[in-house]
Amino acid sequence: MDQILGNISLLFEFPVVNMKIIVDGLMIGALFALAAYGLALVWGVMNVKNLAQGDFVMAGGYIAWWLEKQGLPALLGVPAAFIVLWGFGWVVYKLVISRVIERDLFTSLLATFGLAIMMAQILNLLFGSDTQSVQLEYDTLYFIDGFVDIPIAKLIGVLMAAVLATGVIIFMKVSRMGQAIRATSQDSRAARVLGIDTEKVYAFTFSLNSAICGAAGAIIVMVWVIQPFYGITYSIRAFVIVTAAGLGNLPGVIAAGLGIGVAEQYGAHIFGIGYQQAIAVLLLLLVLLVRLLQQRQMRQSLQ
């Protein structure tokens, strides 16, 4: 308890510590937002809640890590993970998701949970249960007398996340496929009547989501650490963000992602690093509770 109070008072005595926490939080939050964006896409278009989201992220991370170990440049891992996970997502869609899409929501949730267990265990068997990361050979920038340090590697990671997100948004707005996806998410029956092959749209959306997650994972391995069993926490973070922001609210997803990142960094600072996973989950409960109270005022339930 004393330690917690000490950590809090440190924040007030040295305001510059806040700066460091916020900068770290925003950088990691950008990556959370990316994975959450994929979830919002799948959720909105095909009403499937994917609990294996975080394991796609971890899989992407391990692909980048493995390629780097083979001597390839680390930055190449991002497009590689994007492509491999695209294919993987397509296979998963054809084998599992396409069969649960019309069923009730718990079915898709449970099926993806089974998938999540499988993927985490396969990653564990292939790569071991140690935490892994890729060290990039870049300098670190120092601001405010060296209190705030920003490794250039992290900046590159955030920049790539931003580029990827912008690319996806432009794609959704401009391209024919993007239009079809948006049409399907508004009304899949009408879209089918108007000649859109919704099956193809679903497959494409799920693959795109999986690829986005893969790329996010490949960036995370460069700026943070990955471990086979961290996947579920990323899934939960993605749920927190989407639940907090609401579906189809892109600025909301970005804002919530950055907010979660900062909140987690503050939590880790105040309570200690051991509570990191717990904080991510407690944030979920907090967000659900707030949304619940909002709905209760309107005499509705969260469904």
Partner 1 sequence: MSAKKVIFYIAILAISLTAPFLLPDFRTQLATLWLMIIVALTWDMTGGQMGYNSLGNIFFYGTGMYVAAVIAIALVYDVSDYTDAAAAGGEIFKFTDTQYFTGMLLGIIGAGLFCAVTAVIIGYLTFGLRGPYFAIGTLGVAIAGGELVSNWEWVGGGQGITLPVYPGDFNVGKLYFYYLFAGTGIVLFIFLKWLYSTRFGEAINAIRDDEEKAEAMGLHTLRYKLTTWGMAAFFVGMVGGISAFQLIHFEPLETAYQTINLGIFMVVCVLLGGKGTLWGPVIGAILFHVIKEVTWNYFLGWQWVALGALIVVIVVFFQDGVMGWLMHRKPEWFGIRVEEKEPAVAGVNQ
Residue numbers of the site for partner 1 (CB under 8 A)?
49, 51, 96, 99-100, 103-107, 109-111, 113-119, 121-122, 125, 232, 236, 239, 243, 272, 274-275, 277-278, 281-282, 284-285, 288-289, 292, 295-296, 301-303
Identity of the residue, 26 or 282, whose beta carbon is nearer to partner 1 in the bound complex: 282
Q: What is the DSSP letter of 48?
A: -
Nearer to partner 1, 110 or 169 (CB): 110
Give the nearest distance from C-beta 103 to partner 1 in angstroms. 8
Pick between residue 31 and residue 111 the one whose CB is nearest to partner 1: 111
Least separation in angstroms between residue 20's CB and partner 1 is 24
Q: Which two tokens stand for residue 15?
A: 């305001």
Please state the closest distance from residue 203 (CB atom) to partner 1, in A.
17
Tokens of 177: 């496929």
Q: Nearest approach, Cβ of 31 to partner 1 (angstroms)?
A: 21
Q: In the complex with partner 1, which residue's Cβ is closer, 218 or 240?
A: 240
The pairs formed by 69-78 with CB atoms below 8 angstroms and a separation of 24 or more are 74/134, 74/136, 74/222, 75/156, 75/160, 77/134, 77/218, 77/221, 77/222, 78/160, 78/215, 78/218, 78/219
Rounded to 10 degrees, the C-alpha dihedral 112/114/120/124 comes to -160
Nearer to partner 1, 104 or 139 (CB): 104
Widest Cα–Cα separation across the chain: 65
CB of 256 to partner 1, least distance (A): 16
Q: How far is the CB of 161 from partner 1 (least distance, A)?
A: 25
Q: For residue 192, with 0-12 CB atoms within 10 Å meaning exposed, 13-18 middle and 19 or more buried, which class applies?
A: middle
User: What is the per-residue DSSP string for 171-219?
Assistant: HHHHSHHHHHHHHHHH-HHHHHHTT--HHHHHHHHHHHHHHHHHHHHHH
- CA–CA separation, 252 and 37 (whole Å): 10
Q: How far is the CB of 15 from partner 1 (least distance, A)?
A: 28
Nearer to partner 1, 150 or 288 (CB): 288
Give the separation between CA 237 and CA 285, rounded to whole angstroms.
11
Q: Which two tokens stand for residue 62?
A: 């391990």
Nearest to 118 by CA among 38, 52, 216: 52
In the bound complex, what is the minimum distance in angstroms from residue 21's beta carbon to partner 1? 20
Is 192 or 291 the residue whose CB approaches partner 1 more closely?
A: 291
Q: Which amino acid is at 113?
A: F
Nearest CB to partner 1, comparing residues 104 and 145? 104
- Judge whether 263 and 275 are in contact, CB under 8 Å: no
